[in-house]
Amino acid sequence: MISLKNINKSYTTGSNSLHVLKGINLGIEKGELVSIMGSSGSGKSTLLNILGILDNYDQGEYFLDGTLMQNLNEKKAAYYRNKMLGFVFQSFNLISFKNAMENVALPLYYQNVARKKRNLIAMEYLDKMGLREWANHMPNELSGGQKQRLAIARALIGQPKVILADEPTGALDTTTSYEVMKILKEINESGITIILVTHEHDIAAMTNRIIWLKDGIIEKNIYNGDLKAFREENLRSGGIPKPQNHEIMI
The site for ligand ADP (CB under 6 A) is made up of 11, 13, 18, 20, 38, 40-46
Nearest to 129 by CA among 145, 113, 108, 105: 145
- In whole angstroms, the minimum distance from the beta carbon of 72 to ligand ADP comes to 18
Question: Which of 23/31 has CB closer to ligand ADP?
Answer: 23
Most distant pair of Cα atoms in the chain: their distance:
58
Q: Least separation, in Å, of the C-beta of 43 and Mg ion?
A: 9
CB-CB contact of 164 with 191 (8 Å): no
Task: Return the number of the residue (94 or 213) whose C-beta is nearest ligand ADP.
Answer: 213
Query: Is residue 42 a contact point for Mg ion (CB under 5 A)?
Result: no
Contact 241, 198 (CB under 8 A): no
How would you classify the pairing of strands 162-166 and 193-197? Answer: parallel
Q: How far is the CB of 18 from ligand ADP (least distance, A)?
A: 6
Residue 118: closest CA among 109, 127, 110: 109
Q: Which of 4, 9, 37, 45 binds Mg ion (CB under 5 A)?
A: 45
Q: 236 and 228 in contact (C-beta within 8 Å)?
A: no
Smaller CB separation from ligand ADP, 41 or 130: 41
Residue 180 CA to residue 92 CA, distance in Å, equals 12
Closest to ligand ADP by CB, 44 or 154: 44
Q: What, of ligand ADP, Mg ion, none, does residue 41 touch, CB below 5 to 8 Å by kind?
A: ligand ADP
CB-nearer residue toward Mg ion: 27 or 41 = 41
Q: Are 146 and 130 in contact (CB under 8 A)?
A: no
Nearest approach, Cβ of residue 19 and ligand ADP (Å): 9
